[in-house]
Amino acid sequence: MPAVQSKYDFFHNYEDIQAQNSTYAQRQFLLEEHMEKMPDEIIKSYLNKELEEEKSDKIDYSYSNNTQFIERKKTPVFFIESNPLLERAISLQKWRGIVEEVNKNFFKAKLINLTDKGFDEYAEISNDEITQEDTELIKPGAIFYWSIGYSHSSTGQRRRFSDIRFRRIPIWDEKEINIARKKAKKISSLIGWQ
């Protein structure tokens, strides 16, 4: 892969950058999700795994000829706490969407890629993908979050999920509008906007 000389060379090595970005982002998200959903000890053991492997390679076997001991060292036994499995979800792709056009059975939206920043997309999304309580929010200008990934149930089953949630933003209140109006007047006299 050709080395990237500077940020400006992004469009020269498009494929490589994209491949690199997507793998990196997925890894980051997996790690973040693990951190949120799993106990700290498991995360630490995962992060220290390579370190432990390195250490185990450096074990000095020379002081003993006891083969049994060496075998035990090579195949260590781990005791795992038998706590019930926790339900957890791992997101592989996230977008922030802005509804731009609403049709009878679908809507069109700009998708801001939150996993690979800068690589935004545009999609047609069927209304069937939206939960009943969010359907009334499908209007031009509405904001939603779309996450795709997989979840692990408490019984260990893995399922894919696609979750679209519309953002409920508080209504404009009089106070808020008046404050903005006053501030706008102040700015206009301060910098000569008018």
Partner 1 sequence: MPEKKQKKSAVLLDGNDLTNRPKENELEISIFGPGYGECVLLHIGRNNWIVVDSCVFPGDNYPTPLLYLDKMNINYNAVKAIIATHWHDDHIKGISNIFSACKNAEFICSDALKNQEFLELVETYGNCVIAEDSGVKEFHEILKVMIERSEKDKINYTPKFAVADRHIWKSIFKDNNGDNITTNLYSLSPSDAAILSAKLEIMKCLPVQNEHPRSIPAISPNHASVALWLSFNDINILLGSDLEEKGNPNKGWSVIINSKTRPNGKAILYKVAHHGSINAYHPKIWEKMLTDNPIAILTPFSKGKKLPTIEGIQKICSKTSNAFITGNPFSKKKFKRHHLVEKTLKETTGKIKMITPSYGHVRIRIKSKNKYSIELFGNATTLCNIK
Which residues in this chain contact partner 1 in the complex, by CB under 8 A?
Answer: 6-8, 10-12, 17-19, 21-22, 26, 92-93, 96, 98, 100-101, 108, 110-112, 115-126, 129, 139-143, 148-150, 160, 162, 167, 169, 171-174, 176-177, 180-181, 183-185, 187-188, 190-194
Please name the residues in contact with 21: beta carbons below 8 A apart, sequence gap of 6 or more. Answer: 116, 119
**Rounded distance, CA 64 to CA 73, Å?**
12
- Closest distance between partner 1 and the C-beta of residue 54, in Å? 29
Looking up tokens 């000890």 gives 41
- Closest distance between partner 1 and the C-beta of residue 80, in Å? 27
Residue type, 21: N
6 or 67, CB closer to partner 1?
Answer: 6
3 or 51, CB closer to partner 1?
Answer: 3
- Closest distance between partner 1 and the C-beta of residue 13, in Å? 10
- Closest distance between partner 1 and the C-beta of residue 28, in Å? 13
Q: With beta carbons less than 8 A apart as the criterion, state whether 152 and 158 touch.
A: yes
43 or 127, CB closer to partner 1?
Answer: 127
52 or 120, CB closer to partner 1?
Answer: 120
- Closest distance between partner 1 and the C-beta of residue 136, in Å? 11
14 or 46, CB closer to partner 1?
Answer: 14
7 or 58, CB closer to partner 1?
Answer: 7
* 109 exposure class (CB count in 10 Å sphere: 0-12, 13-18, 19+): buried
The DSSP line for 100-129 is EEE-SSEEEEEEEESSSTT--EEEEEEGGG
* CA count, 13 A, side-chain hemisphere, 3: 1
Give the chain's largest Cα–Cα span: 90
- Closest distance between partner 1 and the C-beta of residue 143, in Å? 6
